Structure 1
Amino acid sequence: MPYQYVKFGLLCCLTILLSFIPIHIKNEDKPVQVRDEKNTMEVRIGEVLKDQRLQGAIAGISVRAADTGEVIFDHFGDIRLRPASNMKLLTSAAALSVLGENYRLKTEVLTEGMVVGNILQGNVYLKGKGDPTLLKQDFDTFAKEIKKNGISMIQGDIVGDDSWYDSIRYSEDLPWSDETEYYGAQVSALTASPNEDFDAGTVIVNIKPGKKIGDFAQVSLHPKTDYVTLVNRIRTNNEPVSEEDESYKVYREHGTNTIVLEGTVSMSIIRERKWVPVWEPSLFALDLFRQSLLKQGIVHVGKIRMGFTPPTANVLYTHESMPLSELLNPFMKLSNNGHGEILVKEMGKRIKGEGSWEMGLDVMKSELSHLGMDVETMVIRDGSGISHVNLIPANEISRLLFNIQSKPWFPVFLNSLPVGGVSDRKIGGTLRNRMNEGISKERTRAKTGTITTVTSLAGYVEAKSGKTLIFSILINNVLDEEDAKEIEDRIVEILAES
């Protein structure tokens, strides 16, 4: 008999014998669970990522349990992607850790002169130390403090000193096209803001229709200043207002403080406002100071110029900004780019004695490493995220958001994040018009981010189960950023429903 037949016969006999042996499976500790695969977080997010609007784009997603740090969802989480303004999460965490939540930025008024009678014989120095929150009324206060010293005349120069930071005004990768946008304003240690949004280094251009069709529009500056020249070419018409396509444009000519307004404005509008950055904000601040001195009746005989404060100068008055714990609110909720760059330079100044991007980013990377991030897998070029060269993996952002929960300053950090679906811009910030419906509304605290072809969203969401989830969503190479934001919101909604 051939061997293969013998082998087959033995196997059959063995099978018959085994059928008579009872088999007992103990499963008392692990009951069988039926899982609805269609409703798991992984499956639902996977379906969202099939959206045709993401075709050709790449999404890095990382979701962690806030209590353990365990990664419970990962889609390209270790791929380096452009974070846009999610970079501000890193900057604010590093600044809180390095500077502290009570840190304040200063501005000083000094003199090297002598007061003879009511005349100050010598120069007055306005020394900026990075405060981006100086308003026109603060310069008025400076002038009042000088007058309190019995001074009604200054025989000497009024000197602006911005040497606390270096003279480089733009971060390394800021595109030239952003120079005339409010979010691309120059960074200086001596600067001023037009209102309490604190967009330092900008002025507000107010635009109203003329009194009749064909008239030039009525335009004005806030704060009022001769430092900027307006060239008004906007005419008034009676056409309906379109939010999608503005009928006019406002821009500053490169290298000048000439702001040009062109196009038409409808009779139906009440007022339009445009924020425009100035060229050399230090001189802008100095002009506001000059105005305030005149307002207080202080006569000035001398030049107005930039320079350095001598070490022998005496302090007449010191102004302090709000603490960092409060400054983080306009920085994070309104995504203020200038604040991010100022904080980078301030970290460099305080730790390494040099207020530059190079030294500041060095300090920032070191601190992020101490906070548990793998900085060797990142490219960090600025503090705001405006650079298209920044590269951060989603898993590293979620790791940071997990690690900092144990820090004493974490409540300040958490409070600075925009809250989804809350219409008050001081609370909802850049999420005030998102997540208006669904369970994620008011349960989500997260930082948004947008640059051309990029959107991002990262933060914390309270799930229906009562657990808090940490998430980071980076979407790059999109054709329409608004479409990508809708997809981000859908993912967060799925997390909130879990």
Structure 2
Amino acid sequence: MHSLALAQSVSGRLASAFKTFQNDPQLRNGIASLYVVDAKTGKVVFDQNSQLGLAPASTQKIITSASAYELLGDGFQYKTKFALAKTGEEGKLLIMPTGDPTLGSWRWGNTKDEAVLKELTQAISRQGVKHISSITVDNEGWNEEAIPDGWMWQDVGNYYGAGPAKLNWRENQFDVMLRSGKNIGDPVSIVGTVPELKGYKLRSELSSAAAGTGDNAYIYFPVNGTTGVIRGTIPVNESRFKISGALPAASDQFAGTLQDALTEAGIRSTGKVVVDSRGTANQQAKYAPFYTVTSPSLDSIIYWFNRKSVNLYGEALLRTIGYQKSGVGSTDAGVEAIQNLWKTRGIPETELNIVDGSGLSPLNRVTTQAQVKVLQHARKQPWFDGFYASLPLYNDMKMKSGTIRGVKGYTGYHKAKDGNEYVFSFLINNYNGSSGALVRKMYNVLDELK
């Protein structure tokens, strides 16, 4: 009886707080969905609009994470293999990637670009090769379109809009250093990029804005073009203002960087880099594998995926799931596999109407009920500890946040002071005004679970 009264009081408090929230001017033309269940019993504590499909933004990452654990396994690791076809001291290099998004990442010691290049160069040197005459990247089975449907052009040139390739490098990211003028409206020049871009150029159409206005610069790469443009503003009086962009062609960047490293090691590397999707498997018999780069475990990848909301990891995992299940490394194949997985666990695909793995696309529509069901399923799995550890802490609650224009969401777990545990999802679409003000009001509602 006591626990029933307690549950009713939490439900009542949530209902009151949610009503206040819904009547706030910031929600005048918006919509809010909140679904809360008792983690131990599964009983519904609060439900408002839980079966309405809304854009989830990055809260979608919990769906991709749980799906990757289920379909790939928590011990899953990517392997990038390197093979040589040697004639004397000359060799042709074949790279056989599998979509590893951590190759060259700065988040682990052994994945850092300099560590990978050093080990690989030494491995080539040990083969007695003095001249690499060609580099071929095996792209067979992998969709060449790096950008998922529905991503916005304003996003895709910038670091958070980096699409997944079969061969990824440095999280498909680069930095641009910018120098602004002394006066508002002065042109902004490009000091350089880190690393140096291979096969691509940038030009600036930026102008200088008032001090304290921050980063309002966006990189745009035209389709199949080799020159990108940076538009927007950065503050006045900056000598090395850093923004980060998405590499247009990660395979070319990796191969070009490898050629530089080989040259430094006294190994000549000439010839064009070829990314081949037309049956390199038939050629592999001519090559002898000599080196393999193994990624961190899935547990570790998902930790960073959720903690830092790395969109690339979600898109790479989605395509990897598609490749493992159907032999096609495409976003659509991954989406189908994820929808099929959760359909068998009672979540209809109409509640997981997704088009990518990260939530960056504004076309995604997910219900809060579906998200809570995924979180509830995760609690009962042997991989739950790793999944739970990956969730950030906001408002003293373990939850994944989500933010795109007009969208804010939080979904996760909370253990109250009285020992009751809750699983919840809270999504807002089409709010107005400042996101900071909205977040404080969302926290006020969620505080009723404490």
Q: Same fold by TM (over 0.5)?
A: yes
Aligned 1:389-428 pairs, distance under 5 A: 389-420=363-394
Which of 1 and 2 has greater Rg? 1
Is 2:211 aligned against 1:241? yes
Q: CA deviation at 1:93?
A: 0.4
The corresponding residue for 1:74 is 47
Q: Verify the 8 A CA contact 2:176 2:190 in the aligned structure 1.
A: no
- Mapped contact 2:59–2:401 kept (Cα < 8 A): yes
Q: Which moved more, 1:457-466 or 1:132-141?
A: 132-141
Change in 2 beyond 3 A, CA 1:370/1:203: same
Q: Distance in 2 between matches of 1:152 and 1:279?
A: 30
- What is the letter of the counterpart of residue 197 of structure 2? T
Tell me the residue number matched to 1:90. Answer: 63
| Structure-to-structure mapping, 1:107-186, within 5 angstroms | 107-114=80-87, 116=88, 119-120=89-90, 122-135=91-104, 136-137=113-114, 138-154=116-132, 156-186=133-163
Question: What amino acid does structure 2 have at the position aligned with 1:326?
Answer: S
Aligned equivalents of 1:111 and 1:65: distance in 2? Answer: 57
Contact 1:86 1:448 in 2 (8 A): yes
- Per-residue deviation, 1:272: 2.6
Who is 2:415 aligned against? 462
Shift in CA distance, 269/164, structure 1 to aligned 2, threshold 3 Å: same
Secondary structure at the residue paired with 1:382? coil
- C-alpha distance in 2, partners of 1:449/1:475? 10
CA contact 2:252–2:273 (8 Å) conserved in 1: no
Q: CA deviation at 1:66?
A: 1.1
Q: Aligned in 2, Cα 1:129/1:266: closer, same or farther, shift over 3 Å?
A: same
Q: What's the secondary structure of 1:293's corresponding residue? A: helix
| Residue 184 (structure 1) shift | 1.9
CA RMSD, 1 decimal = 3.0
CA distance in 2, matches of 1:290, 1:37: 62
Q: Which residue of 1 aligns with 2:167?
A: 190
Give percent identity, aligned residues only. Answer: 26
SS at match of 2:353: coil
- Conserved? CA contact 2:163–2:315, under 8 Å: no
Q: Is 1:330 matched with 2:278?
A: no
Q: CA deviation at 1:461?
A: 1.6
Contact 2:54 2:427 in 1 (8 A): yes
Aligned amino acid, residue 154 of structure 2? S
Of residues 62-71 and 287-296 in structure 1, the stretch that sits farther from structure 2 once superposed is 287-296
Aligned partners of 1:110 and 1:125 also within 8 Å: yes
Which runs of 5 or more structure 1 residues have no equivalent in the other structure?
1-28, 194-199, 421-434, 436-440
Report what 1:381 is aligned to.
Answer: 355
Distance of 2:416 and 2:177 partners within structure 1: 44
Q: Secondary structure at the match of 1:112?
A: strand
Q: Does the C-alpha gap of structure 1 residues 139 and 38 become closer, same or farther in structure 2, counting only changes over 3 Å?
A: closer
- Report the alpha carbon displacement of residue 289 of structure 1 after superposing the two structures with TM: 1.8
1:346 corresponds to which of 309, 320, 323: 320
Say whether residues 1:451 and 2:425 are aligned partners. Answer: no
User: Do the aligned residues in 1 keep the contact of 2:391 with 2:399 (CA within 8 Å)?
Assistant: yes
Q: CA deviation at 1:108?
A: 1.4
Report the alpha carbon displacement of residue 274 of structure 1 after superposing the two structures with TM: 1.2
Matched pairs, number:
431
User: Paired residue for 1:426?
Assistant: none
Measure how far apart 1:335 and its partner are: 1.4
The answer as to whether partners of 1:204 and 1:221 remain within 8 angstroms in 2 is: yes
TM-score by length of 2: 0.86
1:41, distance to aligned residue in structure 2 (A): 2.8
Q: What is the identity, as a one-letter code, of the residue corresponding to 1:204?
A: D
Q: Deviations over 1:89-138 (max 9, x none)?
A: 11110100111111111211112233x2xx12x42112221011122221
Does the C-alpha gap of structure 1 residues 406 and 219 become closer, same or farther in structure 2, counting only changes over 3 Å? same
Structure 1 stretches of at least 4 aligned residues deviating more than 6 Å after TM superposition:
33-39, 210-216
Provide structure 2 residue ranges, at least 5 long, that are not aligned to the other structure: 105-112
Contact between 1:130 and 1:164, CA under 8 Å: does it hold in 2? no
Choose from 250, 257, 272 the match for 1:288.
257
Judged with a 3 Å threshold, the aligned counterparts in structure 2 of structure 1 residues 40 and 186 are, in CA distance, closer, same or farther, namely closer
